[in-house]
Amino acid sequence: MPRLRAASDYEAAAATRRTTGWAPSTGDINTLVFQSGDTLRSRSRDMVRRNPWATNALDAFIGNCIGTGIKPQSQHADAAIKEQIQALWLRWTDEADASGLTDFYGLQSLACRSVMEAGECFVRLRPRLPKDGLSVPLQLQVLEAEHLPTNETRKLENGNYVRAGIEFNGIGKRVAYRLYREHPGDALNPMASTELVRVPAEFVLHLFRPLRPGQLRGQPWLTQVLVKLYELDQYDDAELVRKKTAAMFAGFVTKNAPQDSLLGEANPDSTGAALAGLEPGTLQVLLPGEDVKFSSPADVGATYETFMRVQLRSIAAGMGITYEQLTGDLTGVNYSSIRAGLLEFRRRCEQFQHQVIVFQMCRPIWQAWIDAAVLSGALPKARELAPYYNVKWIPPGFAWVDPLKDIKAQIMAVRAGFKSRAEVVSEQGYDAEGIDREIAADNARADSLGLEYDSDPRKEPNAPATASGDANL
């Protein structure tokens, strides 16, 4: 009879000395987030407020992911209507913020920051009246995650149920959000209350990065590195204090008798403490039996820089950015290494741009904006709105360390037929049609003035310019 094995066939599942105390939770993602979400959120916000590395990590990701904004390019087949849509959108972006503090692209940055810091945020669509004087009667309000309680869970009489403040119908579709009218943590707001308002789901956009199937609420991006950041911040402060202590130089005089007055002890300072001065080039003669001893504070921080670099690399990996972006330290970096790191980082940026910012925020806002524009008469009415909904969202372009090499590679790809010129322009964050109109206008103006430049794409490469004077650039 074979001997029974007490341990699992999988080493990681075995109950051994090495795995003692390792008892992870078997709860689903919602159970974990609902139980710990409020604490994680408050600690994440605290770390972003106090820790420069956490703050810089958020700024680095937002600057690359949002930049000057992820902008729409209408795909309407009618060129005249398309131009009208783009002009109307450009005018509305300055009116989009219900608070009047920024434009639509500033709201994108604010939403991205909230998702990273708190794990989620909400964008409320606020329809307006014609008397409000907006180009399109619609505005947006960004709400922090605290507006939606995590402890609001119950069954409703109509058969719907509420989980963590979100109301679902019988088939699991989100039908409403139960939001606090004011931020529950705003103790100085005279209008603050704990009143919950039921807002239909079609007027609320819930932004977060889903990590597991069925996830209902988001978790802060700092979750995996919060403890490390907290302890590393304390260690760094302790190291600073230790260096400060090591820089202090003190001497201790041993007297023959307590009543003896030595080394200026007769002139105490304002606190009454006895002081003995020490000046450069001074030889102090001591009485027989007297002695002076100097302090030697410990200074064993030779491994400080190496230790900090390793820890910060771990934090950067946990947050999905490069070590150089987290710290600004470019020591030992060359073109190949920084390009390899940026490629991986930019893939993550593009993933977040399209799966969260565009899909969860920009796409539904565009549809709501089109509906409001058509209903208000700002855009021509149509029997079918599908052509109006067609849009391409263009994220900001990434600048390379060596743009000359990148531009040459793009030219070769276009000439080989691997990509279109319009795609290359879109990758840089611009509208190809707008670029073409600007080039045509530049060429027409140069021709009308009799100017010819070496930069004119209509000329053969390296052909000399025929115009004289300053026009020969």
pLDDT in tens, 11-37: 888 888 888 888 888 889 999 999 999
Instruction: Say whether both 381 and 408 belong to one domain.
Output: no
Same domain, 359 and 382: yes
Task: Examine residue 22 and state whether it is found in any structural domain, yes or no.
Answer: no
Lowest mean pLDDT among 165-174, 189-198, 359-368: 189-198
Q: Which pLDDT does position 247 carry in this prediction? A: 74
Q: Are 55 and 142 in the same domain?
A: yes
Report pLDDT for 467: 44
Residue 462 has pLDDT above 60, yes or no: no
Asked if residue 221 and residue 128 are part of one domain, the reply reads yes
Number of residues written out for the chain: 473
**Does residue 346 sit in the same domain as residue 445?**
no
- Alpha-carbon span 44 to 460, nearest angstrom: 58
Domain count, the chain: 2
On whether the CB atoms of residues 8 and 16 are closer than 8 A, the answer is no
Residue 359 placed within a domain: yes
Predicted pLDDT at 263: 54
Confidence of residue 166 (pLDDT cuts 50, 70, 90): very high
Q: Taking Cα atoms as reference points, which of 64, 37, 51, 357 lies closest to residue 223?
A: 37
Chain centre to alpha carbon of residue 192: 29
Q: What is the pLDDT of residues 32-51, one digit of tens each?
A: 999 999 999 999 999 999 99
Do 138 and 167 have their domain in common? yes
- 241-291 pLDDT, tens per residue? 888 877 776 666 666 666 666 555 555 555 555 555 666 665 666 667 667
Question: Over the stretch 381-395, which tens digit does the pLDDT of each residue have?
Answer: 988 899 999 999 999
71 and 82: one domain? yes
The verdict on residue 289 lying in a domain is no
**Mean pLDDT of the 180-209 span:** 89
pLDDT in tens, 295-346: 666 665 568 888 899 999 999 999 889 999 899 888 888 877 888 888 889 9
| CA atoms within a 13 Å half-sphere pointing along the CA-CB vector of 419 | 12
Alpha-carbon distance of 365 to 433, in angstroms, equals 23
- Choose among 228, 210, 215: nearest CA to 57: 228
| 245 in a structural domain | no
**Are 343 and 417 members of one domain?**
no
Q: Does the structure show a pLDDT above 60 at 158? A: yes
Buried b (16+ CB within 10 A) or exposed e, 95-106: bbbbeeebebbb
Distance CA 372, CA 381 (A): 11
Residues 6+ apart with CB under 8 A from 365: 123, 125, 140, 205
| Domain identity same for 338 and 444 | no
Range of the domain at 222: 27-236+319-326+334-397
User: Does position 473 have pLDDT exceeding 90, yes or no?
Assistant: no
Q: Which amino acid is at 21?
A: G
- Asked if 78 and 169 sit in the same domain, the reply is yes
Q: Residue 285: what pLDDT?
A: 64
Same domain, yes or no: 170 and 133: yes
388 inside domain = yes
* 55 and 90 co-located in one domain: yes
- Asked if the structure places residue 16 within a domain, the reply is no
Listed residues 397, 423, 443: the one ending a domain: 397
Q: Does any domain span residue 4?
A: no
223 inside domain: yes
Write down the pTM of the prediction: 0.81
